[in-house]
Structure 1
Amino acid sequence: MTEILFYHLTESTLENALPGLVERSLSRQWKVVIQTGSQERRDSLDNHLWTWSDASFLAHATDQEPHPQEQPVILTTGEGNPNGATVRFLVDGAEPTNVAAYERLVLMFDGHDQMQLEQARAQWKLLKAEGHTLTYWQQNAEGRWEKKA
């Protein structure tokens, strides 16, 4: 059964929080696909992941580049899984599909964006009604993740 995690951003931006979570996935030898809500957001995250830290970068590509199957991380706006990822991150309102195809599904949403909050609540209800086991993580004042449900 797919592990489904909701990450509620309250103290940092997606750009600050996402790279660390992706790095943890890669350290477990998991391939990752990140689905964004728009091409502009995909391209913005593409640029950000190359420069997010002075000490490292996250090797990745977008779904528009050749040989996606060779990439550890793919950024996409679509529903496909071009690199055979076991973990899928959904950001900026991207909708989960084909949940069973992944070991882990991570839905990240901005707690300061009412539309994203409402969408996350709706996704929680739908996935719960489908019988999935869900966990909910929220940032504390220091920006660390705390399991709330």
Structure 2
Amino acid sequence: MLLTLTLALYLTVLPMPAWPMDYRPQWVVLVVLFWCFAAPERMGVFLGFLIGLMLDVLTGTLLGQHALGLSVTAYLAIVLRPRIRIFPIWQQTFLVSLILLAERLLTLWVIGATGQPMPPVTYWISPLVGLSLWPLMAWLLLPFERRVGAD
């Protein structure tokens, strides 16, 4: 679990040219969602909040901006987990996209509440990229889920 979270944080701060920045998926949010679905006893709201604080420090954003989004994301994932896990992957993808959009809306709310300039329309591309990556990511992390469940 720690390895996947570290990799997601790394992929989030990995230097890129300016043009693909809007297409970068919300790696940390996707990994937190996965672990909240797979092992809610190990990944919870408080850990989501701590990871969000780490992401705030790494990205240089307002302290608490990502922490709020990730803690609400973790809460939604844990509360909706029994309903989401029974669905096939394509229906899970739809529900995950709603959670990704909720996280983006919270972040947008914090941006607006603090008087920062509003992001461009391309701000909404990131959840769509995450939506397309969720089935692949869930499939790739499935062996790790089994390992964590065996511990």
- TM interval, shorter chain, is 0.3 to 0.5
TM-score by length of 1: 0.36
Does 1 or 2 have the higher relative contact order (CA < 8 Å, sep 6+)? 1
Whichever structure has more strand as a proportion of its residues is 1
Higher helix share: 2
TM-score (norm 2): 0.36
